[in-house]
Copies of this chain bind each other. A is one copy, B any other.
Amino acid sequence: MAELSDRSGVAAPTIRYYIREGLVPAGEATARNQAVYDEGHVGALRLARALVELGGLSIVQARTVIDHLAAPDADRVTGLGKVQYALTPSPGTAPEAARERVGELLARLGWQVRPDNPAATSLAQAIGDLGEIGVVVDDELLEAYAAAARTAAEADVARLAGREAGSAAVSVVALDVLGDRAISALRRLAQEDRLTHASDD
């Protein structure tokens, strides 16, 4: 247990909690206070920690994702989709007009996404909120954002190729959560650069 804690960087009480909650399999008991853990445990711990600490998922949500990834007939895309859907904040409902615009945009872009992808509602909600504050979201702005998002997503997906499901799932959490922060920061830096140039003209 001490070695597993060292190897994974997760404190022993947290490891015991994850095992008790079924997020990580128990070690093979070899003596009264001894158990053997292997690479599979280290990987399972990394995934549990990524989902709970970085992704902010509840224990129940994390278990659902982990069980799905471990299912013998698991389809890789569906499994990673479940990770991603669990990470996407569900903003409730969005105005009908905004939802229609999202549907039209996706059709125009030719993107294949499932109708229950929560990101579609999240996008419609952002468009609705912008409209409420008096900022008109024209198609040109939406398409620029979509082009930006696609550039980032291609780089993301290239980093998942050839990885086994658990390790790919850790990357999905890390890239989605921290990638959002990185892209947000880079957009603000690019805005300052662009504003500076605009005032030079």
Contacts and interface: CB of A to CB of B under 8 A. Distances in A.
Q: Which of A54, A112, A170 has the most CB of B within 10 A?
A: A112
Task: Report copies per complex.
Answer: 2
Given A135-B175, A155-B141, A174-B130, A117 B81 contact: no
Contact of A190 (B144, B153, B175): B153
B199 A76 contact: yes
Interface stretch (A13-21, A27-35, A119-127): A119-127
A118 to B, nearest CB: 8
A54 B126 CA distance: 12
Interface string A94-122: 00000000000010000111100101101
Contact of A111 (B106, B126, B185, B190): B190
A79 to B, nearest CB: 10
Which 9 pairs show the lowest CB-CB distances between chains A and B?
Answer: A144-B155, A149-B186, A153-B190, A123-B185, A119-B188, A148-B148, A111-B193, A122-B185, A126-B181
Given A126-B181, A133-B178, A135-B175, 12 more contacts: A76-B199, A88-B185, A117-B189, A123-B181, A126-B185, A130-B182, A135-B170, A145-B183, A148-B151, A149-B190, A154-B194, A157-B198
22 contacts: A76-B199, A81-B195, A126-B181, A130-B182, A134-B170, A140-B155, A141-B155, A142-B182, A144-B155, A145-B152, A145-B155, A145-B182, A145-B183, A148-B148, A148-B152, A149-B186, A149-B187, A150-B194, A153-B187, A157-B195, A180-B187, A183-B183
